[in-house]
């Protein structure tokens, strides 16, 4: 194996991790910094200067001339504003980076969306170092920049970013779990939420992309007839990865490994030209930052290969959209709480967590739905092969039976002896192979983790994960409340639970399950019957972004976020406003783009075809030829009807845009598209100005 191909050689070389800390900092400082990182504690200000000095030397050794506080503003992407290390001291140039530069920044960030939290005249925003996500080097063709992951907040302390609420939600869950685990007799430990984010994306040749103003401006195709071949044969999924794509993937992985991102799995996805990258899971905050870097890297490396990486949720109609499956779990003291254990005690913890998640998801399905809402994902949720907009949980048949036994121990049929009762334990045994392969559920238990599949491919993981942590914290707390009230908890030593404890626990879980099992759905989520059944069960089904986002304004949801210190009412209101505005803007941009493409590119092509056909008819009449004229006439009529329809649809679209009506804009765009997609098949291929689906999806 060459040095170049050994992933371990370069893994993390552009990250200020353990090795760099040991090399560039004194022993004492290194120890203090490592403790800060491990325990997520605030940095000891007395070491800030030395840490900054060490980081600068490390970064300069890697070619960095600049540094930036790297943060996640509410735009949904990452933000960076570079400053050089260069300073003039009495006219002499020196390189400098102080402890203060490391810990806080004050970008003039007045143009970031704040949803009314910060008006431009008091535009100060602060970035604060998040030592739990290590500094890294971002390289470009002739230089490099030191990036310091930070949280971004207003002068008043209110969060203006996507990282802060995530960190707060992790703290909230940690607190609730510490309480619950104590009742289980476990020694106090650190909670680690874990995330493995599977990233789906499309690739398209840069030359096609440049000729598609819709892709350039909106990230998705607003026109395009379905090609003769789409994904019917399902021959792309897990197929041989095309050579050009494979070399792109190799480059991506090499970059990611350098950044300490454990890219692990790569494969073709279901739709043509669709692919997936999955890293090995990591602690949530780091994994969430890493996913932002994964998206960034996919985009920049694609350029080098003459490709464009499309991260939009639905770049093409008629084939699968792209998601970002958030595999989430939670470990306590290094042990995954969603791993069904081997002994009764571990089983009890597992079942408690399982019930807590079911309760949380049922109670707050609206918030989970809101966390994945967006103009792009609206085209995906509920569409072909995407999880439906109804949030339900899949646990698999085996686990469903376990839950059934838990809820109704008497009526349950006892299979093999020992599988139901274990010693004094009244809780059922868990089959070890309780994994499932159901792909149609938005929220599936997959062996030792939950896979939230509703998030769209372009989303920042922090939104959905913040909601999940918070709602699970609440359910865990509620169970802890009842356990405490039962008086049966906290008396036993670890591993020695009394029958009274398990009886109390069983009762609590039984009533939780009774109240919330309606959210468990083990059938096929793609079936037309499911939304109807879901409605009968009273599960919410928000079909679009504005209706989904309404959850953020509900009194009980505001109270929940406030109670857990994750977001204040003002912060939540601001987010609601930002998301609604982002949605409206995106729809308006799409509407305007569709209007322009139709008026300036497609209708002229149809008119030219019309003219040519009319001239042919004219010529035929002049020379007195009758054959062919029937066909020509029919074509002319079809083209003419299409022109008439499209023209009036453009007017409708224009009116919708003028009245700022998003629903009307979407309806008008859909109608216009349908007319023009039909016309695409009636106009000579050589004349059609947009690259076609058959080219973009298959030629790369």
Instruction: Write out the residues near ligand ADP by the rule CB under 6 A.
Output: 194-196, 198, 265, 278-281, 327-329, 336, 446, 448-449, 451
CB of 450 to ligand ADP, least distance (A): 9
Query: Least CB distance from residue 16 to Mg ion, whole Å?
Result: 31
* CA–CA gap between residue 301 and residue 316 (Å, rounded): 22
336 binds, among Mg ion, ligand ADP, none (CB under 5 to 8 A by kind): ligand ADP
Q: How far is the CB of 154 from ligand ADP (least distance, A)?
A: 32
Which of the listed partners (ligand ADP, Mg ion, none) does 159 bind, with a CB threshold of 5 to 8 Å by partner kind? none
CB 269 within 8 A of CB 202: no
Which of these segments, 156-164, 319-327, 337-345, 567-575, binds Mg ion (CB under 5 A)? 319-327
Pick 148 or 293: Cβ nearer ligand ADP: 293
Q: How many residues does the chain have?
A: 700
For Mg ion, the closer of residues 212 and 449 by Cβ is 449
Task: Please state, in angstroms and rounded to a whole number, the distance separating the CA atoms of residues 521 and 108.
Answer: 49
Q: By CB under 5 A, what part of segment 429-448 binds Mg ion?
A: none
Q: Which is nearer to ligand ADP, 278 or 587 (CB)?
A: 278
| CA-angle at 23, arms to 17 and 26, nearest 5° | 105
Nearest distance from C-beta of residue 634 to ligand ADP, angstroms: 50
Question: Which residue's CB is nearer to ligand ADP, number 451 or number 609?
Answer: 451
Q: How far apart are CA 288 and CA 196, in angstroms?
A: 9
CA distance 437 to 447: 10
- Number of C-alpha atoms within 13 angstroms, CB side, residue 625? 11
Nearer to ligand ADP, 152 or 445 (CB): 445
Q: Which does 32 bind (CB under 5 to 8 A by kind): ligand ADP, Mg ion, none?
A: none
Non-local CB neighbours of 621 within 8 Å, separated by 6+ positions: 629
Residue nearest ligand ADP, Cβ-based: 196
Q: How far is the CB of 328 from ligand ADP (least distance, A)?
A: 6
For residue 667, the minimal CB distance to Mg ion (Å) is: 34
Rounded to 5 degrees, φ, ψ at 340 are -60, 130
Count Cα neighbours of 488 within 13 Å in the Cβ-side half-sphere. 17
Name which of ligand ADP, Mg ion, none residue 11 binds, using a CB cut-off of 5 to 8 Å depending on partner kind: none
Tell me which stretch binds Mg ion (CB under 5 A): 285-293, 318-326, 548-556, 625-633. 318-326
Among candidates 290, 293, 287, 313, which has minimal Cα distance to 458?
A: 313
Token code pair at residue 553: 């304004």
Residue 278 interacting entry, from Mg ion, ligand ADP, none, C-beta within 5 to 8 Å by type: ligand ADP
| Residue 281 interface partner, choices ligand ADP, Mg ion, none, CB cut-off 5-8 Å depending on type | ligand ADP
Residue 196 interaction partner, one of ligand ADP, Mg ion, none, beta carbon < 5-8 Å per kind: ligand ADP
Q: Give the nearest distance from C-beta 615 to ligand ADP in angstroms.
A: 57
Nearer to Mg ion, 325 or 502 (CB): 325
- Residues in CB range of 417: below 8 A, 6 or more apart: none
The verdict on 324 binding Mg ion (CB under 5 A) reads: no
Give the one entry of Mg ion, ligand ADP, none that residue 377 binds, where binding means its C-beta sits below a cut-off of 5 to 8 angstroms depending on kind.
none
Output 265 or 342, the one with its CB closest to ligand ADP: 265
Nearest CA among 241, 220, 209, 215 for reference residue 306: 209
Query: SS3 of 493, please?
Result: coil
How far apart, in Å, do the first and last CA atoms of the chain sit? 30
Question: Within 13 A of 244's CA, how many CA atoms are on the CB side?
Answer: 15
> Quick one: 198 or 662, whose CB is closer to ligand ADP?
198
> To the nearest whole angstrom, how small is the minimum distance from the Cβ of residue 443 to ligand ADP?
13
437 or 493: CB nearest ligand ADP: 437
Task: Please report how close the Cβ of residue 8 comes to ligand ADP at its closest, in angstroms.
Answer: 18
Q: What are phi and psi of 184, to 5 degrees?
A: -85, 0
- Cα separation, 197 vs 219, in Å, equals 21
**Could you give the C-alpha distances from 93 to 68, 90, 100, 695, in angstroms and in order?**
20, 8, 20, 54
C-alpha span between 530 and 527 (Å, rounded): 6
Nearer of residues 47 and 337 to ligand ADP, judged by Cβ: 337
Q: Does 325 bind Mg ion (CB under 5 A)?
A: yes
Least Å distance, CB 19 to Mg ion, is 32
Q: How far is the CB of 281 from ligand ADP (least distance, A)?
A: 3
219 in Cβ contact with 311 (< 8 Å): yes
Residue placing its CB nearer to ligand ADP in the complex, 448 or 547:
448
Between helix 164-183 and helix 284-304 the angle, nearest 10°, is: 140
Q: List interacting residues with Mg ion (CB under 5 A).
A: 325
């Amino acid at each position: 194996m060459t040095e170049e191909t050994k992933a371990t050689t370069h893994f993390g070389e552009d990250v200020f991790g353990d090795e760099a800390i040991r090399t560039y900092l004194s022993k004492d400082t290194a120890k203090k910094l490592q403790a800060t990182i491990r325990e997520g504690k605030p940095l000891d200000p007395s070491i800030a200067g030395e840490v900054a000095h060490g980081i600068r030397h490390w970064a300069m050794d890697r070619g960095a001339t600049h540094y930036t506080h790297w943060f996640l503003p509410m735009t949904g992407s990452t933000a960076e504003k570079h400053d050089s290390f260069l300073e003039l001291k009495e006219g002499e140039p020196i390189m400098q980076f102080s402890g203060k530069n490391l810990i806080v920044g004050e970008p003039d960030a007045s143009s970031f969306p704040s949803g009314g939290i910060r008006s431009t005249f008091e535009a100060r925003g602060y970035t604060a170092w998040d030592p739990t996500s290590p500094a890294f080097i971002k390289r470009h063709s002739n230089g490099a920049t030191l990036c310091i992951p930070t949280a971004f907040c207003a002068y008043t302390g209110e969060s203006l970013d996507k990282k802060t609420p995530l960190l707060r939600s992790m703290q909230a869950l940690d607190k609730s779990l510490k309480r619950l685990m104590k009742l289980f007799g476990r020694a106090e430990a650190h909670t680690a939420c874990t995330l493995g984010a599977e990233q789906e994306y499309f690739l398209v040749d840069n030359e096609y992309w440049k000729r598609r103003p819709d892709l350039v401006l909106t990230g998705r195709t607003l026109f395009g007839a379905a090609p003769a071949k789409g994904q019917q044969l399902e021959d792309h999924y897990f197929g041989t990865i095309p050579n050009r794509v494979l070399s792109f993937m190799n480059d991506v992985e090499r970059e990611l490994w350098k950044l300490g991102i454990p890219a692990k799995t790569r494969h073709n996805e279901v739709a043509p030209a669709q692919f997936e990258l999955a890293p090995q899971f990591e602690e949530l905050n780091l994994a969430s930052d890493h996913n932002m870097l994964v998206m960034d890297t996919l985009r920049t490396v694609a350029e080098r290969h003459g490709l464009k990486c499309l991260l939009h949720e639905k770049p093409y109609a008629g084939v699968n959209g792209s998601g970002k499956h958030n595999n989430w779990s939670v470990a306590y003291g290094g042990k995954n709480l969603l791993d069904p254990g081997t002994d009764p005690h571990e089983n009890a913890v597992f079942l408690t967590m399982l019930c807590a998640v079911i309760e949380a998801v049922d109670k707050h399905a609206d918030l989970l739905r809101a966390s994945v809402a967006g103009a792009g994902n609206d085209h995906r949720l509920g569409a072909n092969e995407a999880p439906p907009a109804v949030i339900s949980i899949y646990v698999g048949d085996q686990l469903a039976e376990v839950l059934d036994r838990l809820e109704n121990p008497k009526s349950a049929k006892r299979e093999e002896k020992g599988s139901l009762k274990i010693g004094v334990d009244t809780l059922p045994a868990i089959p070890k192979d309780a994994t499932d392969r159901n792909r149609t559920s938005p929220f599936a238990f997959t062996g030792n983790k939950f896979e939230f599949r509703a998030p769209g491919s372009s989303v920042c993981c922090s939104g959905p994960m913040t909601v999940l942590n918070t709602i699970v914290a609440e359910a865990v707390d509620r169970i802890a409340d009842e356990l405490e009230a039962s008086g049966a908890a906290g008396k036993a030593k670890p591993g020695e639970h009394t029958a009274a404890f398990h009886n109390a626990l069983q009762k609590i879980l039984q009533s939780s399950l009774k109240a919330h099992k309606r959210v468990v759905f083990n059938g096929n989520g793609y079936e037309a019957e499911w939304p109807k059944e879901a409605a009968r069960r009273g599960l919410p089904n928000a079909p679009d972004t504005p209706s989904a986002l309404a959850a953020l304004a509900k009194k009980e949801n505001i109270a929940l976020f406030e109670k857990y210190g994750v977001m204040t009412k003002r912060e939540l209101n601001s987010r609601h406003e930002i998301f609604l505005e982002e949605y409206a803007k995106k729809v308006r941009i799409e509407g305007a783009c569709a209007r322009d493409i139709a008026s300036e590119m497609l209708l002229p092509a149809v008119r030219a075809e019309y003219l040519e056909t009319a001239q042919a008819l004219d010529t035929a009449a002049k020379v007195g030829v009758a054959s062919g004229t029937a066909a020509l006439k029919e074509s002319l009529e079809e083209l003419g009807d299409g022109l008439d329809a499209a023209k009036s649809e453009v007017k409708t679209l224009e009116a919708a845009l003028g009245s700022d009506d998003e629903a009307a804009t979407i309806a008008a765009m859909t109608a216009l598209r349908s007319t023009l997609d039909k016309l695409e098949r009636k106009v000579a291929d050589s004349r059609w100005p947009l690259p076609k689906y058959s080219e973009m999806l298959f030629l790369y």
